C-alpha cells in the first residue's frame, strides 16, 4: 500500500513550491486535488492523486524576487547576531548595482520573507543568494541539493616547506568532519598561495576546517560561483536581481 502524505509535502516533492508556500496556497483555496479545491491544512493525499494550482498562485510566485549580493566581511548571512548586521541590510535602492539589467523595480516589500539560500561566514566574502522563492531555496540548500559552489581561498602553510601532494589529494577526497566522510571536492592551486575549492555540500565553516586538518591557515575566502551563476563584476556591498532566464 502506498502511504498517504501531507499535501504540502507532496507539492514540494513535485517542485510546485516550498512547503510554506503550499500551506499559504492551500489556505487561500488555490490548490486542487483531482480537480477538487482543498483548503484544509494538514490534508493527506496519495502520491497517485493529481495536484494542480490556480493561476493566482503562479502569478504570486512570479512576483517573488531573488537577489544576489557581494557580501563584505563583517556581515552575517541570516539573522542579526552579536551586534553584527545581517546581509539583507545591504539591500536598498541606493546600493543596487548600476549595471543591473533586470527590469524589476525595487520596493521595500521585497524584503519580506527574503531569506539566505546558504550561508557565508561573517569573515568570508562574495556571492550570497537571498530569495523569496521557496523552490530556489530548496534547490540550493535542500538536503538533496548537489549544486556546485566555487570559492577562492587564500592560505598560509603553517608547517615547514610546501603542502605535500598527498594532503592536496586528501582535500579533494578523504577527509572527515563531525564523524562523517565529506563528499568528493575539486581542490587545486590557482597560484602559490591561493586554492580553488568546488564543493557540493556546505557544512559549517567547512573549508576552514578542511584546511586546518592539513595544516593550512585560511587568510581569505571568497565565493565566486553558485551553480551557473557567477559573482562576476558585482562590486563589494552591492546587489542585483537574478535575471529572467538566469538559472543556478
Q: Provide the grid cell at 38.
A: 482543498
| Catalytic residue status for 121 | yes
CA-CA distance, 43 to 74, in Å (whole number)? 44
Q: Catalytic residue, from 34, 100, 121, 233: name it.
A: 121
61 in Cβ contact with 84 (< 8 Å): no
Q: What is the dihedral of CA 86, 88, 89, 95, to 10 degrees?
A: 140
Q: Which residues pair with 96 in a beta bridge?
A: 239
163 in Cβ contact with 217 (< 8 Å): no
Percentages (nearest 5) of helix, strand, coil residues in the chain: 25, 30, 45
Residue 19, CA distances (Å) to 7, 47, 203, 229, 234 in order: 9, 16, 23, 25, 32
Q: DSSP state, 24?
A: H
Q: Which residues are catalytic?
A: 121
Amino acid at each position: 500500500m502506498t502511504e498517504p502524505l501531507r499535501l504540502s509535502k507532496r507539492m514540494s516533492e513535485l517542485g510546485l513550491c516550498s512547503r510554506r508556500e503550499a500551506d499559504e496556497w492551500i489556505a487561500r483555496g488555490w490548490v486542487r486535488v483531482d480537480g477538487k479545491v482543498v483548503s484544509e491544512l494538514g490534508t493527506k493525499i496519495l502520491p497517485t492523486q493529481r495536484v494542480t494550482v490556480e493561476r493566482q498562485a503562479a502569478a504570486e510566485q512570479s512576483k517573488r524576487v531573488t537577489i544576489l549580493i557581494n557580501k563584505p566581511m563583517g556581515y552575517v548571512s541570516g539573522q542579526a547576531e552579536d551586534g553584527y548586521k545581517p546581509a539583507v541590510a545591504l539591500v536598498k535602492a541606493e546600493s543596487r548595482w548600476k549595471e543591473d539589467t533586470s527590469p524589476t523595480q525595487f520596493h521595500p516589500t521585497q524584503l519580506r520573507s527574503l531569506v539566505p539560500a546558504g550561508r557565508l561566514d561573517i569573515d568570508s566574502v562574495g556571492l550570497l543568494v537571498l530569495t523569496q522563492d521557496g523552490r530556489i531555496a530548496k534547490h540550493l540548500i535542500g538536503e538533496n541539493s548537489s549544486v556546485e559552489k566555487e570559492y577562492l581561498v587564500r592560505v598560509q602553510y603553517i608547517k615547514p616547506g610546501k603542502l605535500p601532494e598527498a594532503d592536496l589529494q586528501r582535500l579533494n577526497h578523504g577527509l572527515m568532519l563531525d564523524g562523517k566522510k565529506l563528499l568528493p571536492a575539486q581542490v587545486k592551486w590557482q597560484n602559490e598561495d591561493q586554492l580553488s575549492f568546488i564543493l557540493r555540500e556546505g557544512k559549517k565553516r567547512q573549508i576552514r576546517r578542511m584546511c586546518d586538518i592539513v595544516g593550512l591557515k585560511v587568510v581569505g575566502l571568497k565565493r565566486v560561483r553558485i551553480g551557473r551563476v557567477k559573482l562576476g563584476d558585482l562590486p563589494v556591498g552591492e546587489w542585483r536581481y537574478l535575471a529572467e532566464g538566469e538559472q543556478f
